[in-house]
Amino acid sequence: MKQLAEVRTLRVNRYMIVDEEPCKIMSISTSKPGKHGESKARIEAIGIFDRQKRSVVHPVKHKVHVPMIDKRNAQILALAGENVQLMDLETYETFEMPIPDEFKGKLEPGKEISYLEALGRKKITRA
């Protein structure tokens, strides 16, 4: 799910969508308005899922998409090779996802983790 927001309302450490990828905003710099135009904002962001740096330049009144980030907790049910089976602690939904490299060897059944969900994709953020 996503919604629209004006560029001037965006803040560092919040999120926006760049190239259909949810990204965390790392820096925003605005230029002064020119003789015939409005001021522009240069936004540096890093993809949540692919960790790729992206930068965009938009007029400050331009509208961009902002993803709805859902931060949740889950319990580890089982480890199956490269995947982990999780159960959401609120909805009791069970799902499987690949184990990120930074958490390999640190996950064990019964332990709680935090994850985020954006645009139908999930990522473990804290173990």
- The answer to whether residues 106 and 81 belong to one domain is yes
Over residues 37-64, the pLDDT tens digits come to 889 999 999 999 999 999 999 999 999 9
Partner residues linked to 87 by β-bridges: 75, 94
- How many other β-carbons are positioned within 10 Å of the β-carbon of residue 115? 19
Structural domains of the chain, count = 2
Over residues 71-126, the pLDDT tens digits come to 999 999 999 889 999 999 999 999 999 998 888 888 999 999 999 999 999 999 98
Round to whole Å and give the CA distance between 61 and 59. 5
Sign of CA dihedral 71, 13, 53, 9: positive
- The answer to whether residues 52 and 75 belong to one domain is no
Q: What is the pLDDT of residue 100?
A: 87
| Tokens representing residue 98 in the block | 């690949």
- The answer to whether residues 96 and 62 belong to one domain is no
- How many other β-carbons are positioned within 10 Å of the β-carbon of residue 73? 13
Which residue among 48, 67, 86 closes a domain? 67
Amino acid identity for residue 60 in this structure: V
pTM listed for this prediction: 0.82
Amino acid identity for residue 111 in this structure: K
Q: What is the CATH number of the domain that holds 41?
A: 2.30.30.30
Q: What is the pLDDT of residue 36?
A: 75
- How many other β-carbons are positioned within 10 Å of the β-carbon of residue 120? 6
List the domain range (segments joined by +) for residue 48: 2-67
- The answer to whether residues 74 and 108 belong to one domain is yes
